[in-house]
Chains A and B, each alone.
Chain A
Amino acid sequence: MGNVPSCPMTLSTSGPSARRCWYQACWGESMVEFELEGTEQYALESYQWLLQRILMDMGISTMVERVRLVIRPDQTLFIISMRIKQSGSKRPLYDIADTESQEGGTFITIKDESYAPRLLSNLWHKYGRERVQQLTRLEIFVEGAPVEEITDIRLDPEEEVRSQLLDAMWRLLPEGLKVRNEYFNDDVMTIVATEHGMTVDFIAEAQNVHRNMIKGPEED
């Protein structure tokens, strides 16, 4: 199998050529559960390997909990569904910025610049643009907001994770499969791709994969 790592395969009984594989890949601390289904073993294993490398390159391999790949080159069908790991750890504001109570409001000094755009949009959403002044790149003054209220703000990193995971999926999808449908909710993203026309069967299968991914492995 060339340079693709070996993967324990168990043959599915659902079809003559369908193969299924449950494989847990460990990269450092991370653990991703892969479920592969398709007609070509090399394609499945190599795309699993590719996705692992893409996630590692982007530094987001710890954010993925479960991946399901359905690859059927004979039908020109490619489905990828990815479940995001529940981070459960919204970062509190005091983690990323210093706050100081001042006359007429609260002065914020950002320590972790990567959270600056999200903090700013959160403050705009909460207090309105007219009350939030961005004094410098890392300094914000919020008029009429008590420091305790500001300190209680917690920032959700998942929006950024979702956009990174979407980028990883786009990198993985074969270039020629230009006709794509996407399904997503808070934790699961699914893309079905084909070359010519998207058929009702493909859409139904992708929606089924998406639903099963939301339910989790137990109910699958």
Chain B
Amino acid sequence: MYEVLMFDGGVHKVDELLDLIEDVGGFILQRTQIQVMITLTIAIPGEDRPLIEKKAAELGGKIIEVPLAGTEIAVIGPTLGRHHMPHPICDIAEHLRRYGAITIVMGLARGRGRKTCQISAAEKAIIEEYDAAIFMLGNFTECVTHEKIDLYKDIQIPVVTVIGPELESLPHCEALVCGVGRKVERMRRSEEIAKLEEIADRVKEVIDKRRVEIDEDPLFVHPSEIKDALEDMEAVQVCLRPAPIVLHVDGLRVKIPYKKHVKELEELEVYGHKLKDIAIISDCRLGDSTMIKIKTKAEVEGKVR
């Protein structure tokens, strides 16, 4: 079982760590270098963790737990207006990044209001491309419990709802965090940071539950193994977009155009199988990217037989 960790340290002799990760069969998921400091998000076999920790300590760096690494999470507000952005939606997105998640912020076209709030099929489809969604729904109990819950009712991915008023529960969502309503300033007080932690905890629980479900019928390969193969593609190497490959719990998002590269992707070889045999490759709803959903072992082996 792969474990996703983050190395935070200097660039001096970091090659030794990179070699060790490769030797134990691990992968670099993300590499961010700022001058002489480097942050590596890595996936390594769980049993080799002590080796990596020892090497990190030797290099003067540290290994940090990143429970949300390898996930892409959407934080959704009713609109992109100044009533909802940047606080608290961007604060939540920023906080989740500290736990290794890749987050995006999204505003609905017509999500504001009570009777008039709505979500389109296109918006739902975009949201469903992510591993989990966080919906930020505001300060009015009446509005949240009667109207806003319809915004995420049909969404097929886990939803964490964040609202202002204290409520016991809400229908259609996997988790609920109360006490975070509209904000006009950054969430930086201790009680606000505690709320951000609570949101991160709920998201971790939701993602863990999803991972456990996936483990019941495991994926044919881990997404990071496909990432490793994709990195050899020229189109990925020349892609200038930040994080050209984003890992999901059950697949990947590759930021290269689907129509142009679908054939090449289908023929990509992973452990002796063509990618089209072990994954579903589809166009991404958000411009010029490709979605790869990895099939389960049962699906692939059933087909092979």
Binding site for B on A (CB under 8 A): 1-4, 39-40, 42-43, 46-47, 50, 53-54, 57, 73-74, 76, 171, 174-178, 195-196
| Chain B hits for A54, CB < 8 A | 184
Provided the pairs A1-B166, A175-B84, A176-B114 are in contact, do residues A42 and B195 lie with their beta carbons within 8 angstroms?
Answer: no
| Chain A hits for B112, CB < 8 A | 174-176
A-B contacts, 22 of them at CB < 8 A, read A1-B179, A2-B191, A2-B195, A3-B179, A3-B189, A3-B192, A3-B195, A40-B141, A42-B164, A42-B166, A46-B181, A50-B183, A53-B185, A74-B142, A174-B112, A174-B138, A175-B79, A175-B84, A176-B78, A178-B113, A196-B115, A196-B116
Chain A residue with the shortest CB-CB distance to B165: A42
Interface string of B168-193 (1 = CB under 8 A from A): 00000000001111111100010110
| Chain B hits for A73, CB < 8 A | 114, 140-143
| Chain A hits for B191, CB < 8 A | 2-3
Find A174's partner among B83, B185, B195 (CB 8 Å cutoff).
B83
B81 on interface, CB distance cutoff 8 Å: yes
| Chain A hits for B305, CB < 8 A | none
| Chain B hits for A76, CB < 8 A | 114-115
- CB of A62 to closest CB in B, whole Å: 18
| Chain B hits for A174, CB < 8 A | 83, 112-113, 138, 140
Complex Cα spacing A80 to B183, Å: 18
Complex Cα spacing A50 to B178, Å: 17
B39 on interface, CB distance cutoff 8 Å: no
Which residues 113-129 in B have Cβ within 8 Å of A in the complex?
A: 113-117
Given A175-B78, A175-B81, 4 more A-B residue pairs with CB atoms under 8 Å apart are A42-B164, A43-B140, A76-B114, A174-B112
**Top 4 A-B pairs, shortest CB-CB distance:** A176-B113, A2-B179, A73-B142, A73-B140
- Assess the B189–A195 pair: CB atoms within 8 A: no
Which residues 213-258 in B have Cβ within 8 Å of A in the complex?
A: none
| Chain A hits for B183, CB < 8 A | 50
Chain B residue with the shortest CB-CB distance to A74: B142
Chain A residue with the shortest CB-CB distance to B144: A73
Which residues 130-169 in B have Cβ within 8 Å of A in the complex?
A: 138-143, 164-166
- Assess the A171–B82 pair: CB atoms within 8 A: yes
- Assess the B78–A2 pair: CB atoms within 8 A: no
| Chain B hits for A196, CB < 8 A | 115-116
Complex Cα spacing A122 to B184, Å: 36
Provided the pairs A42-B166, A46-B164 are in contact, do residues A175 and B141 lie with their beta carbons within 8 angstroms?
Answer: no
Chain A residue with the shortest CB-CB distance to B117: A176
- CB of A188 to closest CB in B, whole Å: 24
Chain A residue with the shortest CB-CB distance to B192: A3
Complex Cα spacing A195 to B179, Å: 25
- Assess the B182–A46 pair: CB atoms within 8 A: yes
- Assess the A46–B115 pair: CB atoms within 8 A: no
- CB of B156 to closest CB in A, whole Å: 26
| Chain A hits for B116, CB < 8 A | 176, 195-196
- CB of B89 to closest CB in A, whole Å: 13
Complex Cα spacing A177 to B143, Å: 12
Find B184's partner among A4, A57, A178 (CB 8 Å cutoff).
A57
Interface centre among A46, A176, A178, A195, by most chain B C-beta atoms within 10 angstroms, is A176
Complex Cα spacing A47 to B165, Å: 12
Complex Cα spacing A175 to B189, Å: 26
Find B141's partner among A2, A43, A50, A177 (CB 8 Å cutoff).
A43
| Chain A hits for B165, CB < 8 A | 40, 42-43
Complex Cα spacing A125 to B78, Å: 47
Provided the pairs A3-B191, A3-B192 are in contact, do residues A177 and B181 lie with their beta carbons within 8 angstroms?
Answer: no
Chain B residue with the shortest CB-CB distance to A44: B139
| Chain B hits for A1, CB < 8 A | 166, 179
Interface string of B41-77 (1 = CB under 8 A from A): 0000000000000000000000000000000000000
Interface string of B98-116 (1 = CB under 8 A from A): 0000000000000011111
- Assess the B139–A43 pair: CB atoms within 8 A: yes
- CB of A21 to closest CB in B, whole Å: 16
